[in-house]
Amino acid sequence: MHPLGVTMPLSAELFLQQFITGLSSGFVLFILASGLALIFSVLGVLNFAHGSFYMVGAFMASTIVGLLAKTGVSFWPALVFGPFVIAILGGVTEIVLLRRLYVRGLLYQLLLTYGLILVFLDVTKAVWGPRPRTIPRPFGLEGWVSFGGANFPSYSLFLVVMGVLIYFLLVGILKRTQLGLRIRAAASSGEMVSALGINTPRLFSLVFFIGCWLAGLAGALAAPVGSISLGMDASMIIKCFIVIVVGGMGSLFGALIGALIIALVEAYAILFFPEFSIVCIYIIMALVLLIRPWGICGKPLIER
């Protein structure tokens, strides 16, 4: 082994394979982080339980896949209906719990969302049990694609395509629809939106619904490429916060750039420095905070 921790020589094929691995993980992370950023930008809620919706989304996908296993196309209904169920769960959570705390300050919201993590963890354990689960990759995406002398998993390329589509879908909604105009206005000034006669409680519920749908979608997409287990929410929510810090709060493009940077750094760090792979993403965050504390695509609170 190399003194710095390199475990294998770097070839062009290995470099490309690791790039696609990091890229696919980055787009899943972006889908999850974009929901968290959207909720915080509009509602002002730093939702610690966002990773829990991701975890439940993965377990929900595994249940739907199991129920429809004999049909041969079980993954696609799971990808459609699983995130929708998570979105409804999120909407109910916002209406029943969070809506009562908007006027009470950030501390109450943090305590509630942290408490929700424990609730979702116990409920998930009661419903699905403590054992990890796996689901097969969908039909047609089990194999490999050859390109440039290297072989890439078909499902990883599918994740890249899905991430790009979700990004442009969100951009289209935010910039070219009436709903997007209201969301951007609420992110800038919630008081102004309310003064214009817009039903802000309904808008907040809809934004939380969309954010939880994105979390559930990320969970369903990630389910075939790893273990579905209790606690998978913790590592992802930490990465989400790092993505938002690196990319810049309130920027969808920043969330995309931050997610890809973090995922690619982690992918290559595992290859070169496996002992320090987790540390590397924290170093990136620390450097951004020192050099550009408002993030790569964010704006400083005080213009100098």
Mean pLDDT: which of 28-37, 42-51, 139-148 is highest?
A: 28-37
Per-residue pLDDT for 85 more than 60?
Answer: yes
Residue 256 domain flag: no
pLDDT of residue 235: 87
How much is the mean pLDDT over the chain? 88
Per-residue pLDDT for 103 more than 90?
Answer: no
Mean pLDDT, to the nearest integer, of 39-62?
92
pTM of the model: 0.91
Contact of 33 with 244, CB cutoff 8 Å? yes
Mean pLDDT, to the nearest integer, of 97-123?
89
Residue 272 domain flag: no
- Label residue 45 by pLDDT band (50, 70, 90): confident
- Label residue 2 by pLDDT band (50, 70, 90): very low
Mean pLDDT, to the nearest integer, of 255-263?
95
Digit-coded pLDDT (tens) for 177-186: 998 888 888 8
Per-residue pLDDT for 5 more than 60?
Answer: no
Residue 67 domain flag: yes
Q: What HEC string does the chain produce?
A: CCCCCCCCCCCHHHHHHHHHHHHHHHHHHHHHHHHHHHHHHHHCCCCCCHHHHHHHHHHHHHHHHHHCHHHCCCHHHHHHHHHHHHHHHHHHHHHHCHHHHCCCCHHHHHHHHHHHHHHHHHHHHHHHCCCCECCCCCCCCCCEEEECCEEEEHHHHHHHHHHHHHHHHHHHHHHHCHHHHHHHHHHHCHHHHHHCCCCHHHHHHHHHHHHHHHHHHHHHHHHHHCCECCCHHHHHHHHHHHHHHHHCCCCHHHHHHHHHHHHHHHHHHHHHCHHHHHHHHHHHHHHHHHHCCCCCCCCCCCCC
Per-residue pLDDT for 107 more than 90?
Answer: no
Mean pLDDT, to the nearest integer, of 104-127?
91
Per-residue pLDDT for 27 more than 90?
Answer: yes
pLDDT of residue 171: 94
The number of folded domains in the chain is: 1
pLDDT of residue 148: 66
- Label residue 147 by pLDDT band (50, 70, 90): confident
pLDDT of residue 113: 92
Residue-range definition of the domain harbouring residue 118: 25-230
- Label residue 195 by pLDDT band (50, 70, 90): confident
- Label residue 9 by pLDDT band (50, 70, 90): low
- Could you give the percent of the chain with pLDDT greater than 90? 58
Residue 191 domain flag: yes
Residue 178 domain flag: yes
Mean pLDDT, to the nearest integer, of 77-102?
93
* Whole-number Å distance between alpha carbons of 52 and 55: 5
pLDDT of residue 304: 35
Mean pLDDT, to the nearest integer, of 73-96?
93
Residue 239 domain flag: no
* Whole-number Å distance between alpha carbons of 22 and 9: 18
Residue 173 domain flag: yes
Between the alpha carbon of residue 76 and those of residues 71, 72, 157, 217, 254, the distances in Å are 11, 10, 16, 12, 29
Residue 280 domain flag: no
